[in-house]
Amino acid sequence: MAIELTIADQLAHLHLNRPKALNALSFEILGQLNTTLGKIEEGIEAGQVRGVFVTGEGEKSFCAGADITELMGRTLMQEHEGARFGQSVFDRLAALRVPSVAVIHGYAFGGGLELALSCTFRVATAGAKMGLPELKLGLIPGYGGTQRLPRLIGQDRAMDMILSARTVDATEAERIGLVTRVVDSQDPTAVGREFLKPYLKHGLIALDMAKQAILRGMQTTLAEGLRIERDCSTLAFRSGDATEGMSAFLEKRPPVFKDQ
Ligand code: CO8
């Protein structure tokens, strides 16, 4: 399997393991990713998973994008269906109820960066290189890049990155908000675990509602976003975890959330 899943200490570790092709994503691998996301969703509902981190095998690459060899042989209809499937898998990752982080160690190009853009956060190790080089191939990003990148870094910077197809280094990526931070560590697993620590202490309902309010609100008007926020905050307010959180504050003790 090119997609490996380990669940330990409340974290799901999703690992791309196809180093000979710099962890490029074939359609078979996208299928494996889809199945693995189903297992992560089960882990979340079972209370075993509170965060997800994604890494790539090897020193050189997080993920070099869609498998270009495979793309070459595809018909127009197959490609349209492929893009629809790729987008749905990345949407599924984006919609997980818990925070996720892509640890970008080495290259994240094309579909590899689009995979990272579907995570809640991105962290780069020093020396990481990112870009959407599809225009060099006569293509355009097809797995969410033209939509998620401008929402993250703004229209102007996204236009520049996509139309120039240029490579952005870790320092620039942090400056323009493409990654949350750059770390010196060259151990992606340790980076993923460390990054997610601050989110683990919160209850699932509040994490999920906050994440949904932000992501859904970013897709709409301010007025509609505020309505989404009211709905999500009311749902959180009605939870046992909210009663527990407020009681714990008043009783000057740490809360014990039960995700209900
Ligand atoms: N697909 C398949 N194989 C790849 C890919 C890839 N994306 N990237 C690298 N490889 C393979 C190479 O062919 C090579 O294989 P081999 O050893 O058998 O020759 C091996 O990985 C190592 O690669 P390099 O020797 O090229 O390693 P370098 O360190 O010299 O270069 C780069 C690394 C810069 C990452 C270079 O490999 C590169 O430019 N790769 C392609 C990156 C790219 O263009 N990615 C975007 C692909 S398109 C995409 O992701 C979205 C398409 C959405 C389309 C939707 C349409 C509807």
Pocket lining: 131 vs ligand 1, CB cutoff 6 Å: no
Q: How far is the CA of 22 from the centre of ligand 1 (A)?
A: 7
Ordered DSSP codes for 111-138: HHHHHHHHSSEEEEETT-EEE-GGGGGT
DSSP 110: T
Please indicate, yes or no, whether residues 236 and 215 belong to a single structural domain of this protein.
Answer: yes
pLDDT score recorded for residue 181: 97
In three-state form (DSSP H/G/I as H, E/B as E, the rest C), the secondary structure along 55-66 is: EECCCCEEECCE
Which is more confidently placed, 24 or 80?
A: 24
Domain-located, residue 23: yes
Q: Given this model, what pLDDT does residue 113 score?
A: 98
The SS3 of residue 5 is strand
Residue 199 Cβ inside 6 Å of ligand 1? The answer reads no
Mean pLDDT, residues 169-175: 98
The letter for the amino acid at 82 is G
- Please give the pLDDT value at position 122: 98
- Residue 18 maps to a domain: yes
Q: Average pLDDT in the 42-63 region? A: 96
Task: Read off the pLDDT of each residue in 168-193 and give the average, rounded to a whole number.
Answer: 97
244 given a catalytic annotation:
no
What are φ and ψ of residue 182, in 5° steps?
Answer: -110, 135
Measured between alpha carbons, how far is 15 from 40 in angstroms, rounded to an integer?
13
What would the mean pLDDT of 36-58 be, rounded to a whole number? 97
- Annotated catalytic residue within 134, 172, 229, 251: 134
pLDDT of residue 205: 96
Q: Is the CB of 22 under 6 A from ligand 1?
A: yes
Find out whether the beta carbon of 83 lies less than 6 Å from any atom of ligand 1: yes
Average pLDDT over residues 45-74: 94
Minimum-distance ligand 1 atom for the alpha carbon of 136: 44
Q: Which of 29, 78, 109 is the pocket-test mutation for ligand 1 (most atoms within 8 Å of CB)?
A: 109
User: Which value, in Å, is the radius of gyration of the alpha carbons in the chain?
Assistant: 19
Give the integer Cα–Cα distance in Å for 108 and 21: 13
Amino acid symbol at 237: F
Residue nearest to atom 6 of ligand 1 (CA): 67
Instruction: Find out whether 241 and 207 touch, Cβ atoms under 8 Å.
Output: no
> Quick check: is 255 in a domain?
no
Q: Which pLDDT score, from 0 to 100, does residue 44 have?
A: 96
* Shared-domain flag, residues 237 and 128: no
CATH code for the domain in which residue 244 is found? 1.10.12
**pLDDT level of residue 169 (50, 70, 90 thresholds):** very high
Name the residue at shortest CA distance from atom 11 of ligand 1: 21
- Strands of the sheet containing 129-131, edge to edge, are 61-63, 107-109, 129-131, 168-169
State the distance from the centre of ligand 1 to the C-alpha of 133, rounded, in angstroms. 10
61-82 mean pLDDT? 90
152 and 33 in one domain? Answer: yes
Calpha distance 81→61 (Å, rounded): 27
Domain total in the chain: 2
Tokens of 91: 């949407």
- Identify the pLDDT of residue 199: 94
What's the confidence (pLDDT) of residue 49? Answer: 96
Please give the share of the chain, as a percent, with pLDDT higher than 70.
100
- Residue 176 belongs to a domain: yes
Cα 24 to middle of ligand 1, angstroms = 7
- For atom 10 of ligand 1, the residue with the nearest CA is 21
Separation of alpha carbons 187 and 153, rounded Å: 26
85 domain-assigned: yes
71 vs 242, residue with greater confidence: 242
Residue 79's pLDDT is: 83
Pick from 183, 199, 215: which residue ends a domain?
Answer: 199
CA angle 229, 233, 236 (to 5 degrees): 145
Taking 90 as the threshold, does the pLDDT of residue 47 lie above it? Answer: yes
In a domain, 8, yes or no: yes
Q: In terms of residue numbers, what domain contains 183?
A: 3-199
How high is the pLDDT of residue 82?
87
Which ligand 1 atom lies nearest to the CA of residue 22?
Answer: 21
**How much is the mean pLDDT over the chain?**
96
73-129 pLDDT per residue, tens? 888 888 888 899 999 999 999 999 999 999 999 999 999 999 999 999 999 999 999
Band (pLDDT 50/70/90 cuts) for residue 218 is very high
Q: Does 59 qualify as catalytic in the annotation?
A: no
Tell me, yes or no, whether 68 lies in a domain: yes
Active-site hit among 57, 81, 114, 224: 114
In Å, how far are 53, 156, 188, 255, 257 from 118, measured between CA atoms? Answer: 12, 20, 18, 31, 27
Q: Specify the CATH number for the domain of residue 186.
A: 3.90.226.10
- Is residue 258 included in any domain, yes or no? no
Strand partners, 70: none
Mean pLDDT of 119-145: 97
The per-residue DSSP string of 6-67 comes to EEETTEEEEEE--GGGTT-B-HHHHHHHHHHHHHHHHHHHTT--SEEEEEESSSSEEE--B-
